[in-house]
Structure 1
Amino acid sequence: MHLRTTDMRSSSSPLQQAHIVLRLSGANMLQTPKRDQGGRMVSRRKFLGFTGLAAAWPNAAWTQDEKGKAKPKPKPEGVVVNDVHAQLNSTRVFRIVEPQSIEAVRAAMKLARTEKRALCIAGGRHAMGTQQFATDGVLLDIRKMNRVLAFDTERGLIEMESGMQWPQLLEHLAAARFSGDKQWAFNQKQTGADRLTMGGCLAANIHGRGLTLPPFISDVESFTLIDAKGELRPCSRTENAELFRLAIGGYGLFGFVYSVTLRLVPRRKLERAVELRTVDEIPGAFAERIRDGFLYGDFQCAIDDLSPDDFLRRGVFSCYRPAPDDTPMPPAHKELSERDRIELLYLAHKDKPAAFQRYAGQYLATNGQLYWSDEQQMSIYPENYHRALDKRLQSEFRGTEAITEILCERDALPAFMAEVARNARREKMEIISGAVRLIEQDKESFLAWASKPYACVVFNLHIEHTSRGLIRAGDQFRRLIDLGIKYGGSWYPTYHRHALRRQVDACYPQLADFLKLKRKYDPEELFQSDWYRHYKNMFNY
């Protein structure tokens, strides 16, 4: 059986589509003067607008009736879904199914086969490369599968259905503490947002702010997976070990992860240490913090590109060290509220020096403050914040932020950031935030993004939702990847799929084998995504 797939236009996000149209329309397209129907010259800006519009909305074609008059194309069936952050991955799926049991998952698989459609899997919808969406596919929304199945309070192992999100896990662990059990906490979670599912975190092999931690795979004891045949398969380092390595960081392509067993760690009290540093000092400062026993930390950069001394160079260095168990916890904390975060986001667009000054002042005021090791990893993410920002900023065009995470050698971080700053000024990148973290080598997953210890630099770029803005964003992402490669690094593929083939080959030489192994475990390609289709096209596979 062959499931229905789509061509490049229908499986690409608006950003990729806009880039494809300009590239496929001929090498001399932008150099050749264009004329409208009256013979008048068409400006380059207007021409780019026309071609970009066609690229961004490839299905907005018009048909003709019997008399030759244009008429709208019939409305396609299905449901439009999108990611919650960049909102640049609008995808029409055939149907959304919200299973609450293994039997319901198998029924959805049967539906997909009956309809000759692919199956895709989504949770919190934070991935930005359409790993969770497949055009015309049946989408499994896993968020109602959120029960705790088992909790070994002696060993610190908790088994959860894959739709459980981090706030739900935090609540469950808190309830267990009141029953007199040992105090357990999760070791790491992704930063910036909380409502990601365990299945999504496993599929993306996420990481947090740990100073000495590999990615999420190191915290996974085992998981159970419903494969393409509908069979429930236990996966661990000793059972179905190859599938264990493939599915963690495999973006949902090897089956439906039903449950995840997480390795917990003892809950601890931590003290925050905050100071201002420059990026030249950061490699040594991180090493010093690790020697002193600090567990978590990051470096938040100044984003004022008009400042020759501060831009991507000066920043807030915050780290967390264990505090004695008998240290009394304060009844309340100084912390950023949702309103504070929205105001910082506004200033990051409107007044970048003020944004950094306010952020630095608020964080320096928390120096010495105590936190629980799990609670300090939680964060407020105001969903759809950009709608209010666009209105407040009186933006001509809609905008959002999109993330890219670039990896470089730790000792090369100052040189890397200096070159990023030069490129950002020249290319007018609007960087809304930039943060530096550390990652240890992932020695286990097949498609390992942390192939060695790296400095991870997360850039949040403002993207204007126009054809010109989308094309520029893709070019900027590719330029940042090139800089990461230049300084011994790579990029984390969860946030977009704009890398060129040469960049993929340089950073993920195992990707071709990854695609082959996907077909080994799913020969009919039941589990798909537009991310998967993109790389199949890239490798002509």
Structure 2
Amino acid sequence: MKIKWLLLCLIIYVTAFYFSLHVYSRQSVTITAEDAGRLLPVRMKYFRGVHSTKEIQQWVKEAHETGETISIAGMQHSQGGHTLYPNGTLLNMTGYSKILKFNPQEKKITVQSGVTWADIQEKINSYGLSVKVMQSQNIFTVGGSLSVNVHGRDIRYGSLIDSVDSFRLLTPDGKIINVSRKENSELFPFVIGGYGLFGVILDVTLELADDELYQHRSAEMDYRDYENYFKEKVKQDDSVKMHLARISVASETFLKEMYVTDYVLADQQNIKENYTELKEEQMIALPKFMLGVSRYSDWGKDLLWKTQKEYFIKNDGKYETRNNVMRSDSEFMEYENPNRTEVLQEYFVPVDQFAEYINDLRAVLEKEELNLLNITIRYVGHDEDAVLSYAKNDMFALVMLINQGRSEQDIQATEKVLQKLIDVTLDHDGSFYLPYYSYPSDKQLKRAYPRIEEFFEKKREFDPEERFKNLFYERYGQ
């Protein structure tokens, strides 16, 4: 009898321990979480890694019952608290990463939202297919890219919303609906570029492109010649499929000298088979070192600019497939410093205002203190499919990499300078990108995004209990 009683107690203890461990493993508490900008450390209640649709749906239903808030994260390269909310639940989607369906004949692929662009490239490359629209780097998740409606080097396909066929959305009350331009179509332009505020994008069907072979065409020029060069040599030439430019932030040629690389359609039949293997990043140590030097001296910025320019000009005539052009993993940009960080800002300006805009930017920056490391320029064609569209005209996108301190004083100093740059951008009928730190004022946001109130009203209508929240929404939407 005593032995049976002991065995019963042991069974009860082991069972209780198992379930306690199981619950803990599914609800692991984390002290703080932060995004790539490292300016917004936030105490979160739960950090939940998810792997199945059933699991995600269960968490959302539980949050609906308990009143908890949910934020959604992929690689967390949005830098304005878009994946964070104090004392909330963070759904980490990176484990939700299966390729569900691939149809090479129809040039379509269906993937879970935690899949990275690198995963897709590895799946479709051998079939002679490529992604239509994505960032220049392939490390990001598809769900995160949809949430910010990315664009890249491609000049023919616009922003990501243009290549989305449909997606499934897990709504705030735990239901799953299909969304496309025909089904629940009113949600389509809100969720894409919706920063995770309408629910969880579960999986998405994307349209694919052919994996073409390109030949690099590089040139250096004065910034005043860039607009005409782009209009005549790039936009009007159908053989140019992708484009990238940089403008100098070196002291000797500050915002005056440029170099460009065009990706021109090459002879597909005779050469392509020699270049189709997916490349891995080879040069990391040298660019990482040179970027590091440029953080701390004008001499370093001059050296980095000269080296970058020579490297790209030297690659004139190089052959490269579309998949490999969009394959950089940006490892050389990794930066660890306890007191400083690097943030991105991205400003859009109409093509026909480029030179005047650069003059006005320079006039501000020559008077202000801002550790500007790089400006990359891309083109985004007019595209207002998303409610929070950033391309109200044919635009040049200037992506700025900025090194700054992490203290409150440093943040305020950076904000002061960047709000001046934003005013210059808006005065030139431009806009700015929303995935980055919330330096823009409310007034500037409304000027850049005239439909922002419509966006927030739709969010509150669709999610009246505000189940999905983040710091971006708290800053601008409440």
Structure 1: give runs of 5+ residues left out of the alignment: 1-76, 391-396
State the Cα distance separating 1:448 from its structure 2 match.
Answer: 1.3
Picking from 39, 49, 72, the partner of 1:98 is 49
State the Cα distance separating 1:335 from its structure 2 match.
Answer: 7.7
Structure-to-structure mapping, 1:2-401, within 5 angstroms: 78-84=30-36, 86-174=37-125, 177=126, 182-191=127-136, 193-287=137-231, 288-292=233-237, 293-304=239-250, 306-307=251-252, 310-328=253-271, 337-349=283-295, 350=297, 351-382=300-331, 385-387=334-336, 398-401=339-342
State the Cα distance separating 1:78 from its structure 2 match.
Answer: 4.1
Say whether the 8 Å CA contact 1:159–1:259 is kept in structure 2.
yes
Instruction: State the TM-score, normalized to the length of structure 1.
Output: 0.79
Which range moved further: 210-219 or 424-433? 210-219
Other structure's SS at 2:466 match: coil
What amino acid maps onto 2:318 in structure 1?
Q
State the Cα distance separating 1:383 from its structure 2 match.
Answer: 7.3
Other structure's SS at 2:206 match: strand
Other structure's SS at 1:295 match: strand
Say whether the 8 Å CA contact 1:430–1:462 is kept in structure 2.
yes
Distance 1:327 1:188 in 2: 26
State the Cα distance separating 1:511 from its structure 2 match.
Answer: 1.1
Distance 1:251 1:334 in 2: 30
Picking from 413, 424, 436, the partner of 2:365 is 424
Picking from 429, 433, 454, the partner of 1:488 is 429
Distance 1:79 1:232 in 2: 31
Other structure's SS at 1:277 match: strand
Other structure's SS at 2:122 match: helix
Distance 2:197 2:425 in 1: 27
State the Cα distance separating 1:190 from its structure 2 match.
Answer: 0.9
Say whether the 8 Å CA contact 1:188–1:377 is kept in structure 2.
no
State the Cα distance separating 1:106 from its structure 2 match.
Answer: 1.5
Say whether the 8 Å CA contact 1:120–1:527 is kept in structure 2.
yes
Distance 1:303 1:469 in 2: 21
Distance 1:338 1:90 in 2: 29
Question: Which deviations, in whole Å up to 9, do the C-alpha atoms of 1:428-453 show, x marking residues without a partner?
Answer: 21110011111112231112122221
Say whether the 8 Å CA contact 1:212–1:438 is kept in structure 2.
no
Distance 2:426 2:333 in 1: 33
What amino acid maps onto 1:79 in structure 2?
I
What amino acid maps onto 1:371 in structure 2?
E
2:349 — aligned with what?
408
1:517 — aligned with what?
458
Aligned-residue sequence identity (percent) comes to: 22
Distance 1:334 1:520 in 2: 46
2:470 — aligned with what?
529
Distance 2:361 2:281 in 1: 31
Instruction: State the TM-score, normalized to the length of structure 2.
Output: 0.89
Say whether the 8 Å CA contact 1:270–1:372 is kept in structure 2.
yes
The count of aligned residue pairs is: 442
Question: Which deviations, in whole Å up to 9, do the C-alpha atoms of 1:112-134 show, x marking residues without a partner?
Answer: 24543201100010001111111
Q: CA, structure 1 residues 161+342, in 2 after alignment: closer, same or farther (shift >3 Å)?
A: same
Say whether the 8 Å CA contact 2:168–2:202 is kept in structure 1.
yes
Say whether the 8 Å CA contact 1:334–1:366 is kept in structure 2.
no
Say whether the 8 Å CA contact 1:112–1:137 is kept in structure 2.
no
Distance 2:460 2:67 in 1: 17
What amino acid maps onto 1:386 in structure 2?
Y
Say whether the 8 Å CA contact 1:344–1:359 is kept in structure 2.
no
Distance 1:98 1:194 in 2: 21
Structure 2: give runs of 5+ residues left out of the alignment: 1-28
Say whether the 8 Å CA contact 1:429–1:461 is kept in structure 2.
yes
Q: CA, structure 1 residues 335+110, in 2 after alignment: closer, same or farther (shift >3 Å)?
A: closer
